[in-house]
Amino acid sequence: MQPFEFIDLILFFGISQGIFLAVTLQLLKNKNTAANKILSIILVLSVFMLLGRMIFFKYLTVRLFQWTILIDAVIFIFGPLCHMYFRRLIFAKNDNFKLLWKHYIPVLLQVLFSVYVLSDSPERFSEKLTLGYFAVPFLIIEGCGIISNGYYWRLNTNLLRAYTAQEKNKVSYQQGLVSFLKFFQISLGIFILLWVINFVSASFFDVTIQWVSYNSVWGAISVFIFVVGYYSLKEPELFRIPFQKEKTNPQKRLPQDQISALEKELKYVIEEEKIFLKPDLTLRDLSERLDISTHNISWYINTVLDSNFYDYVNHHRVKEFLRKVENNEHHDHTILAISIDVGFNSKSTFNKAFKFEMKDTPSNYIKQLPVP
């Protein structure tokens, strides 16, 4: 047995935190509940991955090495579970979404292979290992693991792209969880790319890259999943949208008299009621206030106003900000305070919206104003 090292402390901490997060997420009520069920399973599997790596390096024997092959089945279930997590998290009416059995065929094959490996005595397995009997199977398994995870990573990237394409027609604010999911996808993509580089260099060029290996990559992925778990504890429920893009007639959806009435009512709730001051305003909120379907409002904003809900609402928030600046309120309050007062929920969202409208930054715009 190897002596205790600092890496063991890190692995132990990761394992304990993974168990804690998996249990805690199940205690959260009415907050991404269906998605968090899948996330808890992913966390438990990440714990097994770390535990497997810890055993592999710390207490390695031939028999334990045989058992780690069974633990490696996790690499084939990680992708499908992440895909289920994304579907349940960001799309409406997907609470019970499950993948068909065929998505788990690689997991079954890996389990069957591990059963075959475990059927050998440690002595016989060690002999086969020395003779290179498992070189090709191990190569195929790792290659298939890369292909599988790359495939589901691509599916999730497409889901996220589809969601963000529709998001601006549904909500008027920047959702932190969407930004985090993008960060998650980029990070996971980097992990997979490093895995590919190591696989190709080691398998075909017999070159080992220090710190970049199958074990280090999956250790990093497991730890990173815990970051996702912690983020999920504090992030509010995501505004979910239909999985299929709603089809609307790009031509004239409403007669002219209804368009005129909608224009008048919308102008009133914007200019008089200033409904845009609500930081978490959604298309559904506006629909309920006007007693008009979300489809009709979305069609009007998209087709008649040639905009989207997100830009339309933030346009009026920027106008309100400019009105407050004209009243010299920026002398008594910070730019951030005023931006929050007019409905923006973050500094970054405000800066992007302001630059989109004014082609300048808020601070630079104010500096160029004449001194009263």
DSSP 272-291: TS-GGGSTT-BHHHHHHHHT
> In 3-state terms, what secondary structure has residue 249?
coil
In this predicted structure, which of 4-18, 69-83, 186-200, 344-358 has the lowest mean pLDDT? 4-18
Q: What is the mean pLDDT of residues 194-201?
A: 90
Q: At a CB cut-off of 8 Å and minimum separation 6, what does 139 contact?
A: 203
Crossing angle of helices 135-167/74-90, nearest 10°? 10
Give per-residue pLDDT as tens, 211-258: 777 777 777 777 777 777 777 777 667 778 887 655 555 455 788 888
Residue with tokens 């397995």: 125
Nearest to 172 by CA among 273, 291, 248, 275: 275
Q: Note the pLDDT of residue 228.
A: 77
Per the DSSP assignment, residues forming a β-bridge with 282 are: 171
Q: Which two tokens stand for residue 58?
A: 């710390």
Whether the predicted pLDDT of 30 surpasses 60: yes
Who's near 344: CB < 8 A, 6+ residues apart? 173, 279, 314, 317, 350, 353
DSSP state of 330: G
What distance in Å separates the CA atoms of residue 140 and residue 146, rounded to the nearest whole number? Answer: 10
* Amino acid 95: pLDDT: 86
Question: What pLDDT does 318 receive?
Answer: 96
The distance between the two most distant Cα atoms of the chain, rounded to a whole number of Å, is: 90
Distance CA 356, CA 179 (A): 19
For residues 9 and 227, give the distance between their C-alpha atoms in angstroms, rounded to a whole number.
18
* CA separation for the pair 53, 50 (Å, rounded): 5
Q: Give 3's pLDDT tier (boundaries 50, 70, 90).
A: low
Cβ distance 64 to 55 under 8 Å? yes
Q: Is 255 exposed, middle or buried (0-12, 13-18, 19+ CB in 10 A)?
A: exposed
Contact in structure between 286 and 276 (CB atoms under 8 Å):
no
Look-up: residue for tokens 């914007």? 270
Contact status, residue 349 vs residue 313, Cβ threshold 8 Å: no
Which range is least confidently modeled, 168-172, 346-350, 368-372?
368-372
Per-residue confidence band for 33, with pLDDT thresholds at 50, 70 and 90 = confident
Rounded to whole angstroms, the Cα distance separating 64 from 164 reads: 45
The letter for the amino acid at 200 is V
Please state, rounded to an integer, the average pLDDT across all residues of the chain: 86
Q: Is the pLDDT of residue 140 over 90?
A: yes
Which residue is associated with the tokens 């090709």? 136
Q: What tokens were used for 370?
A: 């004449």
307 φ/ψ sector (left φ>0, alpha ψ -120 to 50, else beta) = beta
Three-state DSSP state, 241 = strand
* Averaged pLDDT, 341-349: 92
What letter represents residue 204's amino acid? Answer: F
How far CA 175 is from CA of 263, 308, 330, in Å, comes to 28, 16, 27
